[in-house]
Amino acid sequence: MNIGNLAINGGPKTRETPFGSGARYGETEKKEIMEVLANDRLSYWSKFKVNSFCDRVKEYFSCGYCAGGSSGSAVIHAAVAALEIPPGYEVISSPITDIGTLIGVLYQNLIPVFADVDPHTYNLTAESIRSRITDRTRAIIVVHLAGNPCEMDEIMELAREYKIPVIEDCAQAYNSIYKGRKAGTIGSAGCFSLNESKHISCGDGGFAITDDEELFYRIHNYLDKYYDRFQRGNRMFRLAPCYRLSELQYAVALAQLDKIDAITDTRARHAESLTRQIEHNAAISVPKVYPHSRSSFWFYMFRLIPGKISCSINDFVKALNAEGISAVAGYIPRPIYLEKMFTEKAFFPGGVWPAELAAGKTYTYEPGLCPAAEEVLTSAVRVPVSEFFTSRDVDDIAAAINKVLAVYRK
Ligand SMILES: Cc1ncc(COP(=O)(O)O)c(C=O)c1O
């Protein structure tokens, strides 16, 4: 093994110069904001930019309804609440996700149930979901992780079999395509995040799309205190949070919508190029995207195959960092269910978990619940992918990965 060649051992660095970067917000965002200020009303109920935003979203997704809210977590919460599930029932979701997928489940006094992921797509599968369905299951929240669509035909077939609604968490999945359909348009509702790190952003925000008129009104009500803004006669019908977004943010989000395709196309092109350049390595597995799907690659995560690498994942990442590549180990540090809040069921103070009381049975969250998810997170390496990168940036990332693998593969 010639370890001398690696930058970490004093060899030449693969990449000395900064990677491509750029401004996310510009003249179009400024123009939209100035129009809001000129309108002299910042509340979404002015129906100014919020309406333009929702109209543009509906056009982009060819869907019937759009409701905006203050974050991805907020719109997922509203969508879950809008399903009108009584406390104590179960919602199946992924253990590899942001807690925002589950905040609403917990606040609605529902029980998160975790199904395992496919070790190559890192997504829930119909099979893993089926293994978790009980007579208490009332919803499924799929997460299109990193923008890679779940296998929705099988999942929707299962959902129809059991008459369980599916919410799509599309926080990372703008313009992710599954068999010609955009992620978010397949389940009962699709929920998107506009936080600073996402493909498009307005600082913080989110929106839910649906074709179901009644579901839309309920989502809308749950985003705004159940104030019955459309005067349908159900004011304060339920307890609902205040998850409104201001006109200033809708203005920015509106301008950002026009950028989705360029951003996602570039990211997908870069990620596909990276896959082509590194997939020959037997010591790693590249993220699997089905031929009928298109991932929008919010991040690029490959895995080191256990037993085929002679160093630890941390040493592998350090070697990549020394080559000038800002790689990191894993995605979230551990599956969501291994966070202390879950293992100790400390969702609320005082050792009381109302959802469990309502269910009348005990739930446990412990290691081994989803073995594939646990293995993915301990063997995954994330490298950056950005719409601002050039082909050379991608080639250098690939070269660095190949260089480090040449030394550390067994
Ligand atoms: C998969 C997923 N779901 C939900 C969320 C929550 O979105 P927000 O941060 O806008 O609340 C995020 C954000 O990181 C996410 O990545």
Distances (CA, A) of 28 to 24, 255, 333: 11, 6, 37
Q: Which residue has the tokens 């179009």?
A: 28
Of 215, 208, 232, 224, the residue nearest 75 (C-alpha): 208
In DSSP notation, 357-387 reads HHHTS-----TTSSHHHHHHHHHEEEE---T
Judge whether 3-20+260-332+372-408 and 27-259 match in fold. Answer: no
Which helix (H) or strand (E) segment holds residue 78: the answer is helix 72-82
Q: Quote the longest CA-to-CA distance of the chain.
A: 74
- For the Cβ of 193 lying below 6 angstroms from any atom of ligand 1, the answer is yes
Bridge partners, 143 (sequence order)? 169
SS3 265: helix
Instruction: Check whether 4 has a pLDDT greater than 70.
Output: no
Over range 145-151, report the average pLDDT: 98
Over range 283-307, report the average pLDDT: 97
Distance CA 132, CA 130 (A): 5
CATH number of the domain located at residue range(s) 27-259 in this protein: 3.40.640.10
Instruction: Check whether 1 has a pLDDT greater than 80.
Output: no
Distance CA 183, CA 173 (A): 7
Ligand 1 pocket: which of 195, 200, 332 to mutate (most atoms within 8 A of CB): 195
**For residue range 57-112, what is the model confidence (pLDDT) as tens digits?**
999 999 999 999 999 999 999 999 999 999 999 999 999 999 999 999 999 999 99
Distances (CA, A) of 167 to 76, 161, 338: 8, 16, 23
- For the Cβ of 98 lying below 6 angstroms from any atom of ligand 1, the answer is yes
Over range 205-226, report the average pLDDT: 98
pTM here is 0.98
* Protein residue whose Cα sits closest to atom 7 of ligand 1: 72
Domain ranges of the chain: 3-20+260-332+372-408, 27-259
CATH number of the domain located at residue range(s) 3-20+260-332+372-408 in this protein: 3.90.1150.10
Distance CA 108, CA 218 (A): 14
- C-alpha triplet 78, 109, 340: angle, nearest 5°: 105
Ligand 1 pocket: which of 172, 174, 194 to mutate (most atoms within 8 A of CB): 172
**For residue range 10-60, what is the model confidence (pLDDT) as tens digits?**
999 999 999 999 999 999 999 999 999 999 999 999 999 999 999 999 999
Rounded distance from Cα 198 to ligand 1 centre (Å): 9
Over range 196-200, report the average pLDDT: 97
Distances (CA, A) of 4 to 193, 314, 321: 45, 19, 16
205 CA closest ligand 1 atom index: 10
